Structure 1
């Protein structure tokens, strides 16, 4: 890849541009917010300009609800030979792009599985994607050259390309990203009801559990709304688990409850915690040689 146009110079777009510039790719920055583009350029992410000739690849680093309209706009302007996006939802942008009459043969969806709780170009890092999965979701009509260019983009950024269907991707991120963000936000919101003396006792465990809740609320509203059904399915299952835990705790808190009921409730609580340990053990850990399951999941 010799040239790329990055549309949207927030955290992800600027991080991609920095990574590409570090690999010698001529990178052009486009943003409706001139200050954001200038800040990205000031970091060395590229030139604030439209490329003089169509770039090899345009990366649409815009929220999910704007992907299709941005794709149509920049295809009509002949910004690049091929196009990708980095939105964290894939089904809806693909459907909307088809409805708008975009050339889907030159468009391959993408999603780098990396980010930070901070946003904006000044939070960007050239190594943000190093060793991280980068999901690629080619549609049935995507041409081979477009798929190859998006794969090369991921590799130039130091990521590991992973090919999935649009629906597979959206179900996966509902489980491992979108629902955790919503749950972390709900837990963090409870802190609004705590007094200062309580919050002074907060430790690293609470910070770890709520760290991602610091993300941009408007952006996450767009993300969750664009993947609403898949997220709702996971949250509904969590709600059922929570109901069982609440009932068990109520029973344990009622000292007058029958001993047998107390034992049953304690067993429910232990089961919920043990399943959490087992689930946590299934999260892959990063190693110099790639990804592997953690010791718990691997039976160690």
Structure 2
């Protein structure tokens, strides 16, 4: 690949462009919002304007509902030799492209599984896709050239290619991304009218659960509409479990001892299933999820404190696998939980305490 055209200079499009320019690819940028394209160019993502000659690969980084018609137009006007997209749904894209008369032999669907709560070119990062899955959905007529160009794109962006069927992809992202976003939004919406005293004592649990609810509503409206059937199917299963949980809780709190016993058993089963499902989420480097022990350390909210704590852990030869931070309400301090291998947690706690850190038991 020597040249590429990125159409759509939001977070994903600009991040792809930044990754490609770092690898020496001649990148052209196009957007209906000329200001966004100029902003991406000023960040070093490439240069604005369509190329005079067809490029090697055109990446359509626009909302899924627009991809099919845009692909057909791009092929009529010969923007590129081959094309891919980065839409978060795939069946709609393939169907709309076929309906628009696009040549699907020169197209391969794509979806990088990476993102941020922020949107727009200013949120872009060249390393956004490093180590992340990038799904490719070749069709029955996809050419070898299109597949190879897409695989090179994934490699240049540092991602890991995963080949899937379009329907399989759409159900998968409904399960692991789209439905969870709606659930996070539903939970966060409960906080909108909550009493201030309740919100003030929020901790890491509710923060982690609602983090993705901070995504741009206009972007997610398009995504949810494009994959509505698959998302509805997943949410219907959620609703069944949620109804069962409500019934179990009411039974536990009720006067019937036998019903309370059954309710407690149902809640225990739901929690067990939750443990089993959470354990299936891949851990570091795609390996099986591991169990870590938390070493809680109280630190002040001063510049450099977190770095100093990490350095202290490193100085005793302990690798920090993950970290959680909970800020104290009304105080310039926070509780940092260092997640480490269980075999070294006691030693780390003792060494940190000996060095003057406040380690909670």
TM-score (norm. length: structure 1): 0.95
Q: Provide, for residues 158-186 of structure 1, a one-character-per-residue CA deviation record: whole Å limited to 9, x for no partner.
A: 00111111111111111111111111111
* Whole-Å separation in 1 of the counterparts to 2:201 and 2:83: 49
* Whole-Å separation in 2 of the counterparts to 1:31 and 1:218: 17
Q: Provide, for residues 74-100 of structure 1, a one-character-per-residue CA deviation record: whole Å limited to 9, x for no partner.
A: 112211110000000000110011011
Does the residue aligned with 2:126 lie in a helix, a strand or coil? coil
Determine which structure has greater relative contact order: mean sequence separation of CA pairs < 8 Å that are 6+ residues apart, divided by chain length. 1
Does the residue aligned with 1:131 lie in a helix, a strand or coil? coil
2:44 is aligned to 44
* Whole-Å separation in 2 of the counterparts to 1:216 and 1:46: 25
TM superposition shift of 1:187: 0.6
1:264 to 262, 268, 272: 262
Does the residue aligned with 2:208 lie in a helix, a strand or coil? helix
TM superposition shift of 1:253: 2.5
2:271 is aligned to 273
In the alignment of these two chains, the number of paired residues is 292
1:292 is aligned to 287
Q: Provide, for residues 82-125 of structure 1, a one-character-per-residue CA deviation record: whole Å limited to 9, x for no partner.
A: 00000000001100110110111111000001011110000001
TM superposition shift of 1:41: 0.7
1:185 is aligned to 185
1:158 is aligned to 158
Q: Provide, for residues 52-79 of structure 1, a one-character-per-residue CA deviation record: whole Å limited to 9, x for no partner.
A: 2111000000011111111122112211
* Whole-Å separation in 2 of the counterparts to 1:161 and 1:286: 17
1:240 is aligned to 240
* Whole-Å separation in 1 of the counterparts to 2:243 and 2:21: 51
Provide structure 2 residue ranges, at least 5 long, that are not aligned to the other structure. 292-341, 343-361
Answering whether residue 133 of structure 2 is matched by residue 138 of structure 1, we say: no
TM-score (norm. length: structure 2): 0.79
* Whole-Å separation in 2 of the counterparts to 1:212 and 1:171: 19
Aligned residue runs from structure 1 range 165-184, under 5 A: 165-184=165-184
1:251 is aligned to 251
* Whole-Å separation in 1 of the counterparts to 2:141 and 2:122: 37
Q: Provide, for residues 18-71 of structure 1, a one-character-per-residue CA deviation record: whole Å limited to 9, x for no partner.
A: 000011100000000011011111110000121121110000000111111111
Aligned residue runs from structure 1 range 54-93, under 5 A: 54-93=54-93
1:283 to 264, 281, 284: 281
Does the residue aligned with 1:84 lie in a helix, a strand or coil? strand
TM superposition shift of 1:286: 2.5
Larger radius of gyration: 2
* Whole-Å separation in 2 of the counterparts to 1:204 and 1:153: 37
TM superposition shift of 1:244: 0.6
TM superposition shift of 1:193: 2.2
Does the residue aligned with 1:4 lie in a helix, a strand or coil? strand
Does the residue aligned with 2:135 lie in a helix, a strand or coil? strand
Q: Provide, for residues 113-144 of structure 1, a one-character-per-residue CA deviation record: whole Å limited to 9, x for no partner.
A: 10111100000010000001100001111111
Deviates more, 1:109-118 or 1:222-231: 222-231
* Whole-Å separation in 1 of the counterparts to 2:189 and 2:37: 33
